[in-house]
Amino acid sequence: MYHAQPVAAAVREMTGGMGAHHAVDGIGGAMLAQTLDCVRPFGTVASVGQSAGPIPDLAVAELGPRRSIALARPSVFAYAADEARYRQAAAAFLAELEQGLRIAPGPSFPLAEAAAAHRALEGRRTSGTPLLLC
């Protein structure tokens, strides 16, 4: 994806130079280092995915003292290994769905304006997933 400026610079601009309190990296690979750069001192980073490749080795010094941040690497695999807990969580989620869990969609765009939808998403001008209408 094209970014007009580095991710950390954009986050710092949006947060008055402070950085985010919390960040979630669902991409992995080299993105983890960029995500660490986005978080303010005493913030938290959760690394939850690796679609861009494996998580690189990380020196503990990258977390502090300069950054003083916490890093979490939660995994659904460890969660799913406890069958009783997994079944309980699945039942709770399905109950929420049955009660009418609603997810608000983002803005709608005609298919002919797919490029505009992509620019809005990249420009962080959307909330929710943009819908392309045929």
* pLDDT surpassing 90 at residue 45: yes
Considering Cα of 30, then 34, then 36, then 37, what sign does the dihedral take? positive
Which fold does the domain 7-75 belong to in CATH?
Rossmann fold (3.40.50)
pLDDT digits (tens, 9 = 90+) for 104-124: 778 889 988 888 888 887 777
Q: How many residues does the chain have?
A: 134
Q: What is the mean pLDDT of residues 45-70?
A: 87
The DSSP annotation for 57-76 comes to: P--GGGTSSSS--EEE---H
Residue spans per domain, the chain:
7-75, 103-134
Query: What percent of the chain lies above the pLDDT cut of 90?
Result: 27
* pLDDT surpassing 90 at residue 41: yes
Q: What is the pLDDT of residue 20?
A: 93
* pLDDT surpassing 60 at residue 93: yes
Residues facing residue 70 across a β-bridge: 44
Q: What is the pLDDT of residue 5?
A: 58
* pLDDT surpassing 50 at residue 130: yes
* pLDDT surpassing 70 at residue 4: no
d(CA 101, CA 113): 30
